[in-house]
Every structure is written in structure tokens, then in C-alpha cells.
Structure 1
Amino acid sequence: RLCLTSCSLALSSFSQFFFFFLHKHAQSPARAHRRQQADEPLYGNADEDLRTTAEELRQTVLQQNNQILMDQRTIRELTGKLTECESGLEDDRSVSSSAAAQLQTARAVEELARAIMDLKDRIEKLEVNERSLAGAPGGRGKGTWRVEDLEGELERKIKMLEKERQAMRKETQGQHEKINQGIDTVTHRVSELEHKPSFPDGFVLSFPMRTNYMYGLVRKEITEMYAFTACVWLKAKEGGIGTPFSYSVPGQPNELVLLQGVHNPVELLINDKVAQLPLSLPQDQWQHICVSWTLRDGVWKAYQGGKMKGRGEGLAAWHPIKPGGVLILGQEQDTLGGRFDASQALVGELSQFNLWDRVLKPLEVAALAECSSAALGNIAPWTDHDVDVYGGATKESLDPCHAAQRSSPSGPKQ
């Protein structure tokens, strides 16, 4: 308010001074003229009058100049006061806005204080409840249970992670060991291939005892078959022929099996379906047998010594033999490529196993049994490099045709 009052007074003074200045300067020329007219009768000398007039004019100019300077100073002072007043007004505005902000801040502080007091009351109530629960028989605070449970859970998780890490280490070590064993096996196999004997005159697989680990493996890949013929020379020692061959695929271990248990007939299994074959195989004698099958009506035939001994149909009709399986000699598979059963193992010798994807004609079967033909199967041929032995089974150089001829005067013809 003082500043506004000062500004009003300054403006009023400035207005009065300005009007006074204009009035004064407006009257100065008229006054000088009247003075000159009044003085003219007093001075007769024109030169003296001129000098006097000039002096008066000079003095008047000096006075006016001084007055102008004073007026300029006054104007500057008034201008400064006006500036101060304006700045004062702005300060008043800022002060008022600052006061409003302070008022708002004070209100916020009051609200925060009230919220803090509310939280304090709630915390005190919770503490009272917790103490009452803790004071009860066998009671414990809810928060205490939670902290302990979390600690216990954390410890269990840490132990579990540690066990998993140890298990992963063991698994990694086991994998490394398996890899090393695989490398050793491959190296050993390469060495065997480099030094193993060849059998130009034929060979047999020997299974000297009943085990669940001696077997032969046909290395050829088996394709899908809609018909087949399997032929083999066998010399069983005891308890029937066991399992001369078994073919398993993923999900079906009995996709194609020829077997004979102790005191049981010879059976042909296709997709776990069974047909009993009317074959009689004496011990310690070489016998040539063939079995054929076609998915058309599931027709099967069984040959012994080149002669058909039995025929039937309805065996896994319209079910093709699936590809990509494992063909084992001397053992029956309960899983793909393994889980052999010693009671179903072949004990004796096996040779000339061949597999075709068609039904051989009776004359073709007879020629194989009489050793007048050495035809090899187009799916699984009997060759040295296509058959491996494992678990103590051995390969021996022997021609079953010659052996059968020597053991029987009416044996197969050359």
C-alpha cells in the first residue's frame, strides 16, 4: 500500500510539475516582450538597448537551460519511483502466490500427518493382536510363521538346487564316460574289422550256452514289407530252436519273430499275432527251414528241408511289416533292440539267414535247401560284413551244406 501511495503522489507531483513547466515557458517570451516595450522609453541609445536585450536573453536562456536540467532530473527521479512501484506490485503478486503455495503445502503436511497417525494406530492394533495370538497356548504370530516358512522354503530350494546341480554333474560325467566308451567301442570295432578273418567258404554263428547276452546283429536297414520269405540253416542243441531271429520296431517288439520255447511248437509272430507252424526239428542236426507270408489275407507257408510242411491264413492280414527296426539273431526282444530272455535264446548254431521282401516259389525254396542255389536275400543278405556278433557269440568258418551232407548220407545235393 505504501508503494501504491508513493506512486500516486509521484504521479500527482509529476503532473503538477509538468503543467507548471509548460505554463512557465509559455509566459517567458511574452514577459520578455513586455519588458522590452517598457524599457524602450528608458533607453534612448539603441546600442545600449541591444546589449541589454542580448544580456537579458542570454540570462533567460541560461535560466531555462538550468530549469530544463532540473526538470530532467525530476523526470528521472519520478521514472525511478514508477519503476519501483511496478516492481513492488510484482513482488506483491509473487508474495501472494508464494503465500498460496505455502498454504497448500501446509495443508498437505497436515493431511500427511493425519495419514501417519492413522497408520500408527493400525500398526498398534496389529501389534496388540499379534501379542494376544502369541500369548495363547501353542499360538504363534502370523508374521512369525510366515518368516519361518519363507526361510524353510528358501533352504529347501537351495538344497534342491544343489542336488540338481550335483545330478547334472553326474549326468555330464556319465555322458562323457558313455562318449569315451563309444569311442573305445568304435576304435575296437575298427581294429576288429581290420584284423578279423574272412570266410570265403561260408560261416556260422555259434551260441554255445543259454544266455541273455549272446546275439547276432544284422546291420542292414529293413524297409517296409508287404510280403517276405525268411530262410535259415539251424543246428539246435537243446530245448527247441529258441529264437532264430526277431525283428522289433518302436512300439512293437514282436513285429516279426520266429521262436520255439521248451516243449512248445514253433511259432511265427507278426505284429504280436501268432501262428503255430507244423515243424519238427531234431537236435544236433543241420536243418533248413523257410517261412513266407503276405499281407493279402495273411497267408503263410512253412518249409522244412525244401518241402512245405504247413499253410494257413488270417495272420496279421493287411498289416505291412514296418521299416526302421532292429533285426536280432539268436534272441527274442522284449524292447527295441534289447531286454533279452535267456529262456527264449537259441543254443546251437545258425547260418545262411536271408530275408526277401517277396514270397519265394517252392522251387526256389527247394534249391536253397538242396544247396543248388546260393541266392542272397535282397533285404538282409547273409554276408560277413552285414552280420556282427556280441556277448560271446562267435563266427566260425563252416559251410552248413557240406556239414549237412557229411552228417546224412541222403543229405542235400551239391
Structure 2
Amino acid sequence: CSPPPAALLLLLSSGSRLSGVTGLTGHDPAVSRLICTPIPPGQCNTGKFEQQADDPSLYAGEDWGYLRTTAEDLRQTVLQQKDQIQSDQRTIHELTGKLSECEKGLHGRTRRGGPAGLWGGAIAQLQDRIEKLEGDMSWTGEDLEGELQKKLDLLDKERKALRLETHKQRQAIDQSIAKLHHRVSGLEEGTEPNAFPEGFRLSFPTRTNYMYAAVNQHIPKLHAFTICMWLRPADKGIGTPLSYAVPDQPNEVVLLQGLRTPVELLVNDKVVQLPLNISRGSWQHICVSWSQRGGTWQAFQGGRLRGEGHSLAAGHHIRPGGLLVLGQEQDTVGGGFDSTQALVGEMSQVGVWDRVLSANQVASLSRCSKITQGGVAVWTESQIQVHGGATKDPGEPCSKHSMSSQ
């Protein structure tokens, strides 16, 4: 004879909670213990149990109404939480299954007089699974939150850097526009022939791949050359003060310095390093010369010879008909610029001769003295055309001597 369900009393008390079970908000289910009373053989009275089930008043000392209300509240809470915690539905279903198995096991063991320990084992196993699930969910949430914060910080840094770069570009463009307006006003007033009575300089205010100046003069075939200029860099590495490109060779003649490399002279894509030390912020006079005879070269700074050598593109001649560009390194004729190789700063009195100047002539140029131009490239305003925001500004290093730039 098996006892009716009413004979199994589940005592609930607020002092003993089922720890580890989460998701039941609003009520805290508590279990004290499950009491099963074995019945001696032959004393099972089914009618008496049914009478007890129908008459709750027979349970001395128990608040039947409280138990019924509590059970109903728990049932309603579970129904409400099913819609809110979809990810835990499987766990709740497994709980229902374990409770059913526990109830069946209790009935069977009660009939045989054995212990009823399945309830405790099922609850402990369920608690372990729920705690593991909660731990996994907590770790995943923290990990995703950390990754999201890192990405937000990175985006914020990129936004600030972009804003700063945009601000610098806007300032440079505004300055260029103002200078152009001033220039246009001068042209409208007919002052072009005397726009720069004390000489002029080229200004490259920022590192770009579009700001440059072109020398509008035909370059003939050369067996030797000397290039001189005044230079005032504004950044690390002078960039590319001068490059001459022809259709078959963009590196026919190049003078440049990278951010972390020495000054270099390229002739027909052959390179030699020059022992020049060009500092930022001050005007400096530099000259380089080359001859196809033995590929000899010389480098001057401040009118003094700093280094010389040979075997630089020996026997080669500089091909005619190319384009001479100031401020950028050409990968194609008139294009293919790279901002990392651009000149940032100012330059003036750029001259190209079709011969090798003597040491005395170079020293004279560094003192702003006048010598005969070679005619390959002459520093006159009409021969220099600026592009991309590069500007011509009044004044140059030798203006204080009141000497002609030629």
C-alpha cells in the first residue's frame, strides 16, 4: 500500500534557503527537509489517507493555508520567469524532470522501506550545474565588455588624431588661400613685375603628397651639373628638395633625406650618401656637383667641402626633356608623390648649372655673391609654378645684402 501524495509533507521555512538556484525573483524558495514515514505492513488505510488529503485540519501544528499560498506563489513565479530567462529554460525543465524522478523514487522506496536520498542528490547536482552556468555567463559578459571598451578607446584615439590632422590641414589651406588672395590682389593692381622686389622663397607648410613646385624650363642633355640652394627645413629629415624625372627613369637626379636616413644623391637611380648635417629651423646653403667622367661627386655645406667621391653613375649623361620638381620625389614624371618623402619647410635661390662649380664659386654663393648662371635652371618667379598649396612668399636669405638672386 503506498501513501497518497498528501502524506508527503514539504516543510518550508525562511531560515533554510536553496542556495545556488537563481532566476526566481520575488520569492525565495526554502526547503527544510522531506519527511517520509514508513507504514508497517497491513496498517495502510487508503481511506484514511484520502480523508487526510480532503481535510487539511487533520495536520496538527501545520498552517495548511500558508503552505498552499506559498506553493501557489512559487508556481506563479516560475511561470512568469519562463518568459524572461529563455537561456535557463532547459535547466528548469531538467529540474522538473529530477523532481518527478525524486517523487517516483520516494514512493518506491517508501513501499520497500528504503531510504529516500534521491532528492538531495538531484538538488546538489542541479546546484552545481546552475552555478557553473552562472559562472560561464558572468565570465562571458565581463570578457565582451572589456573587448568593447578597448575598441571604444581605440576609436576615440583615432577620432582625436583625425580631428587634429584635419585641423592642421585646414589651417594650412586657410593660410594658402589668404596668400593666394593677396597674390590675386597684387595681380589685379598690376604689381606682378615687382611682386617680390627683394626676392622670394618657396614655402611647403605641411607634409603632403600633392604640394610641390615645378620649374618651367627645358632641361638639356648634361654631362655634368652643379645644384645649389638655400634650405630651411621645418621637420626631421629634409624630405626631397629636388627631383628630376624623365619618361624612362623617374630617379634621373634626386636629392633627398628620409626621416631616419642621411642625405642622398641619386643619379640614374644610383645612390651615394652625402656627409651633410642639415638642422631644422635655420637657413643653410648646400651644393652638390657631379660629372660623368669617373662619376665624381662633391657635397658642400655653408660654402665648405664636406665630402667627395667617385663611381656614381660613371659614363652616364643626364637625359633631356624631363621635369624638374621642387619639394617632392617623383615616381612618374610629374606624379607618384609620397608624403613621407615630401619637403616640409622653405627653400630659395635654387640654381642648376651645366658644369662643376669650383670651391671658390660655391663659397661665393654661400656669401650671397653673384656668379654667372649656367642657364639650366634660373631662380626667377616666372619660371617657378606652385601647386597644391605651396606658396611664393617675399623675402629670402640674401635679401639683406641687396644682391640680385641671379
**TM-score of the pair, normalised by structure 1:** 0.50
> Is the contact between residue 300 and residue 306 of structure 2 (CA under 8 Å) also seen in structure 1?
yes
1:75-224 paired onto structure 2 within 5 Å: 197=192, 198-224=195-221
State the identity as a percent.
58
1:321 maps to what in 2? 318
Which secondary structure state, in structure 1, belongs to the residue aligned with residue 316 of structure 2? coil
Which secondary structure state, in structure 1, belongs to the residue aligned with residue 349 of structure 2? strand
Structure 1 residues 133-161: Cα deviation after superposition (integer angstroms, max 9, x where no partner): xxxxxxxxxxxxxxxxxxxxxxxxxxxxx
Q: Structure 1 pair 210/364, CA: closer, same or farther in 2 (3 Å)?
A: same
2:290 maps to what in 1? 293
State the AA in 2 paired with 1:337: G
Q: Structure 1 pair 196/312, CA: closer, same or farther in 2 (3 Å)?
A: farther
Which secondary structure state, in structure 1, belongs to the residue aligned with residue 340 of structure 2? helix
1:387 has 2:384 as partner: yes
Give the greater-gyration-radius structure (CA): 1
How far apart, CA to CA, are the structure 2 residues paired with 1:267 and 1:389? Answer: 25
Which secondary structure state, in structure 1, belongs to the residue aligned with residue 336 of structure 2? strand
Deviation at 1:373, TM superposition (A): 2.0
Q: Structure 1 pair 281/290, CA: closer, same or farther in 2 (3 Å)?
A: same
The list of structure 1 runs, each at least 4 consecutive aligned residues, that deviate by more than 4 angstroms after superposition, is 189-196
> Is the contact between residue 218 and residue 380 of structure 1 (CA under 8 Å) also seen in structure 2?
yes
Structure 1 residues 105-128: Cα deviation after superposition (integer angstroms, max 9, x where no partner): xxxxxxxxxxxxxxxxxxxxxxxx
Q: Which has the higher helix share?
A: 1
State the AA in 1 paired with 2:394: S
How far apart, CA to CA, are the structure 2 residues paired with 1:272 and 1:341? Answer: 17
> Is the contact between residue 297 and residue 313 of structure 1 (CA under 8 Å) also seen in structure 2?
yes
Deviation at 1:319, TM superposition (A): 0.3
How far apart, CA to CA, are the structure 1 residues paired with 2:371 and 2:217? Answer: 19
Q: Structure 1 pair 196/269, CA: closer, same or farther in 2 (3 Å)?
A: farther
> Is the contact between residue 376 and residue 382 of structure 1 (CA under 8 Å) also seen in structure 2?
no
Which secondary structure state, in structure 2, belongs to the residue aligned with residue 343 of structure 1? helix
For residue 366 of structure 1, the aligned residue among 343, 348, 363 is: 363
1:271 has 2:265 as partner: no
How far apart, CA to CA, are the structure 1 residues paired with 2:399 and 2:351? Answer: 18
Q: Structure 1 pair 317/193, CA: closer, same or farther in 2 (3 Å)?
A: farther
Q: Flag structure 2 segments of 5+ consecutive residues without an equivalent.
A: 1-182, 402-406
State the AA in 1 paired with 2:353: W
2:341 maps to what in 1? 344
Which secondary structure state, in structure 1, belongs to the residue aligned with residue 214 of structure 2? strand
2:373 maps to what in 1? 376
Deviation at 1:401, TM superposition (A): 2.4
Q: Structure 1 pair 388/191, CA: closer, same or farther in 2 (3 Å)?
A: farther
Q: Structure 1 pair 192/398, CA: closer, same or farther in 2 (3 Å)?
A: closer
Which secondary structure state, in structure 1, belongs to the residue aligned with residue 331 of structure 2? strand
Q: Structure 1 pair 373/229, CA: closer, same or farther in 2 (3 Å)?
A: same
> Is the contact between residue 249 and residue 255 of structure 1 (CA under 8 Å) also seen in structure 2?
yes
How far apart, CA to CA, are the structure 2 residues paired with 1:374 and 1:191? Answer: 34
State the AA in 2 paired with 1:352: Q
How far apart, CA to CA, are the structure 1 residues paired with 2:276 and 2:377? Answer: 23
Q: Structure 1 pair 209/398, CA: closer, same or farther in 2 (3 Å)?
A: same
For residue 307 of structure 2, the aligned residue among 307, 310, 314 is: 310
How far apart, CA to CA, are the structure 1 residues paired with 2:254 and 2:265? Answer: 6
1:262 has 2:266 as partner: no
Deviation at 1:240, TM superposition (A): 1.4
State the AA in 2 paired with 1:395: K
Cα RMSD after superposing both structures: 2.0
Deviation at 1:273, TM superposition (A): 0.2
Structure 1 residues 319-355: Cα deviation after superposition (integer angstroms, max 9, x where no partner): 0000000000000001111010000000000100000
- How many equivalent pairs are there? 216
2:351 maps to what in 1? 354
**TM-score of the pair, normalised by structure 2:** 0.51
Deviation at 1:199, TM superposition (A): 1.4
Q: Structure 1 pair 262/250, CA: closer, same or farther in 2 (3 Å)?
A: same
Structure 1 residues 243-265: Cα deviation after superposition (integer angstroms, max 9, x where no partner): 00000001110000000000110
Q: Flag structure 1 segments of 5+ consecutive residues without an equivalent.
A: 1-188, 406-414
